[in-house]
Amino acid sequence: MSGAVKLYNFWFLVGSQHLYGEETLRQVNAHAAEMVGGLNESGSLPCAVVFKPVLTTPDAITGVIREANNDPSCAGVITWMHTFSPSKMWIAGLSILNKPYCHLHTQFNRNIPDAQIDMDFMNLNQSAHGDREHGFIGARMRLPRKIIVGYWRDEAVVKQIASWMRSAVGAAFSRGLKVVRFGDNMRQVAVTEGDKVEAQIRLGWQVNTWPVGDLAGEMSKVAEGDIDALISEYGKRYSAPSFESPPIRYQAREEIAIRRMLDSEGARAFTNTFEDLHGMEQLPGLASQDLMGLGYGYGGEGDWKTAAMVAIVKAMTEGMPGGSSFMEDYTYDLTPGNELSLGAHMLEVCPSIAADRPRVEVHPLGIGGRNPPARLVFEGRAGQAVAASLVDMGGRTRLIVSEAEAVKPIYRMPNLPVARVMWRSLPSFEEAAKCWILAGGAHHTVFSYDADAVMLEDWADIMGVEFVRIGRGTTYESLKKELFMADLAWKLRA
Ligand code: MN
């Protein structure tokens, strides 16, 4: 399940024109190659940057963009105008560009060489000038694009490129994502519904249903030896008094069968619901948790949008240390001035966000009418995090991201038989919850310590999804106006 990020690269497109003569163009090429080398050697980028020879004609620009469009390993293009590149030359190419687009506004030299600067130097080092011409055509063509400004060797600039690369990888992953639904959504629930056709047109997701009976059939084919092998994997990752209990073996059987069905469909996310477990003795708990830990997306109660978002966030943050999980806002601790949310789910929280080694425990489940399932129990780690919810507004989707500060749970909660996470919402409990409810954010989220609001906003911009951030500096009054204006704007756009 790993390696998705490294499969991709980004093309560095440098524009110029023939006016400057061969010597200047030779220098532009040499500088661009040095910058690509420097960026790749920084060690801070998740994907490689690929140098492309300087572009000086409309045909060359259109040609390279056509190649980028057709290369499945190219996840986006980064443009920079070392000299002046008249932007009408870019119209044909940019009008067919179907990859994420970043305009890096930088310059080759950090400082102006006081004693040496002359008109030749100025003509070569004029991105302050050329990038404005390039920016205009992006604005004039209404192209969604990421703009990064600063000196290319600076860590802050490289970090922004790295983050945007991950957003772009998330976009590529999204466009190929298949979600398997075992059964339908939980009856009567609104927020887990949505337009699957619109989701496929806009986001690329193929969301289809498989009968739970097929899964039960697949489970009956799982060999005891395969269960033994998975149990020994559990032993490496988790602790338990004994792994040889029937409920743990049953979860292993479920996990193997679910994974086989997902892999045979090429699917990277799935849903199920406690209301539809025909032929199954336990709701998958440990099974779903371990699959999330391996990188699969999951959504409870048929929540295919959150399942897809969990998979996408896991793919875009691959290799990062924090972890990401399916999550649900459950209950609050309302101490004045220190209000905290307690997040959990019936069972399914991903072990990637555990502070310590998760324990396998078996407890009865008061819902669904099946046998007590094995599940992983742990505390989530402390740290900066976001909770993200994609909702269907009718005609468009809206991604709502709430910034949070996860804390070590302030209570032991010895009788709570599920994994739990505690966090403080920003800017405050009251403001954050009011804004979340106003915007229509769900009770289900993807909770990530690796993705931040900027990474998710860039992904939303690439996908053409409305984005709402709730965090530092957010006020209810300004958000109310923002949502009102956005509603008008999105209606005009559609
Ligand atoms: Mn739920």
Q: How remote is the CA of residue 105 from the centroid of ligand 1, in Å?
A: 44
Q: Tens digits of per-residue pLDDT, 3-23?
A: 579 999 999 999 999 888 899
Burial class from Cβ neighbours inside 10 Å (0-12, 13-18, 19+) for residue 33 reads: middle
The confidence score (pLDDT) of residue 370 equals: 82
Distance CA 19, CA 326 (A): 56
DSSP string, 159-208: HHHHHHHHHHHHHHHHHT-EEEEES-PPTT-STT---HHHHHHHH--EEE
Q: How remote is the CA of residue 445 from the centroid of ligand 1, in Å?
A: 9
As given in the structure block, the two tokens for residue 196 are 């699957």
Summarize the chain as % helix, strand, coil (round to 5).
40, 20, 35
Q: How remote is the CA of residue 296 from the centroid of ligand 1, in Å?
A: 17
Q: How remote is the CA of residue 160 from the centroid of ligand 1, in Å?
A: 34
Q: How remote is the CA of residue 184 from the centroid of ligand 1, in Å?
A: 14
Q: How remote is the CA of residue 444 from the centroid of ligand 1, in Å?
A: 6
Sort residue 189 into left (φ over 0), alpha (ψ -120 to 50) or beta: beta
* Omega before 427 within 30 of 0, i.e. cis: yes
81 touches 127 (CB < 8 A): yes
Residue type, 154: D
The confidence score (pLDDT) of residue 368 equals: 72
The confidence score (pLDDT) of residue 214 equals: 97
Q: How remote is the CA of residue 251 from the centroid of ligand 1, in Å?
A: 19
In which residue ranges of the chain is pLDDT below 70?
1-3, 494
Kindly state the greatest CA–CA separation across the chain: 82
Q: How remote is the CA of residue 446 from the centroid of ligand 1, in Å?
A: 12
Per-residue three-class SS string for 398-445:
EEEEEEEEEECCCCCCCCCCCCEEEEEECCCHHHHHHHHHHHCCCCEE
CB atoms within 10 A of CB 430: 11
Q: How remote is the CA of residue 442 from the centroid of ligand 1, in Å?
A: 10
Q: How remote is the CA of residue 192 from the centroid of ligand 1, in Å?
A: 9
Q: How remote is the CA of residue 301 from the centroid of ligand 1, in Å?
A: 6
The confidence score (pLDDT) of residue 3 equals: 58
Q: How remote is the CA of residue 300 from the centroid of ligand 1, in Å?
A: 5
Q: How remote is the CA of residue 287 from the centroid of ligand 1, in Å?
A: 16
Q: How remote is the CA of residue 264 from the centroid of ligand 1, in Å?
A: 27
Q: How remote is the CA of residue 292 from the centroid of ligand 1, in Å?
A: 16
Q: How remote is the CA of residue 451 from the centroid of ligand 1, in Å?
A: 22
Q: How far is CA 392 from the centre of its chain?
A: 18
In the chain, where are the structural domains located? 5-169, 178-493
The confidence score (pLDDT) of residue 365 equals: 86
Q: How remote is the CA of residue 322 from the centroid of ligand 1, in Å?
A: 23
Q: How remote is the CA of residue 76 from the centroid of ligand 1, in Å?
A: 35
Q: How remote is the CA of residue 22 from the centroid of ligand 1, in Å?
A: 64
Q: How remote is the CA of residue 400 from the centroid of ligand 1, in Å?
A: 18
Residue type, 74: C
Distance CA 111, CA 490 (A): 43
Distance CA 473, CA 475 (A): 6
Q: How remote is the CA of residue 314 from the centroid of ligand 1, in Å?
A: 19
Q: How remote is the CA of residue 387 from the centroid of ligand 1, in Å?
A: 14
H-helix or E-strand containing 99? none
The confidence score (pLDDT) of residue 4 equals: 79
Q: How remote is the CA of residue 78 from the centroid of ligand 1, in Å?
A: 40
Q: Tens digits of per-residue pLDDT, 72-92?
A: 999 999 999 999 999 999 999
User: What's the DSSP call for residue 358?
Assistant: P
Q: How remote is the CA of residue 21 from the centroid of ligand 1, in Å?
A: 64
Q: How remote is the CA of residue 329 from the centroid of ligand 1, in Å?
A: 9
Domain range 5-169, CATH class: alpha beta
Query: Nearest 5 degrees, angle CA 223-CA 310-CA 468?
Result: 170
Distance CA 197, CA 207 (A): 9
Distance CA 358, CA 293 (A): 12
Q: How remote is the CA of residue 171 from the centroid of ligand 1, in Å?
A: 26
Q: How remote is the CA of residue 344 from the centroid of ligand 1, in Å?
A: 9
Q: How remote is the CA of residue 139 from the centroid of ligand 1, in Å?
A: 42
Q: How remote is the CA of residue 347 from the centroid of ligand 1, in Å?
A: 9
Q: How remote is the CA of residue 345 from the centroid of ligand 1, in Å?
A: 6
Q: How remote is the CA of residue 145 from the centroid of ligand 1, in Å?
A: 35
Going by C-alpha positions, the residue among 78, 88, 81 that lies closest to residue 125 is 81
86 touches 17 (CB < 8 A): yes
- Residue 76: phi and psi, rounded to 5, are 170, 170
Q: How remote is the CA of residue 120 from the centroid of ligand 1, in Å?
A: 64
326 touches 300 (CB < 8 A): yes
182 touches 291 (CB < 8 A): no
- Residue 266: phi and psi, rounded to 5, are 70, 30
Q: How remote is the CA of residue 285 from the centroid of ligand 1, in Å?
A: 13
Instruction: Find the length of the chain.
Output: 494
Query: Nearest 5 degrees, angle CA 239-CA 244-CA 245?
Result: 95
Q: How remote is the CA of residue 453 from the centroid of ligand 1, in Å?
A: 23
The confidence score (pLDDT) of residue 100 equals: 98
Distance CA 281, CA 235 (A): 23
Q: How remote is the CA of residue 4 from the centroid of ligand 1, in Å?
A: 28
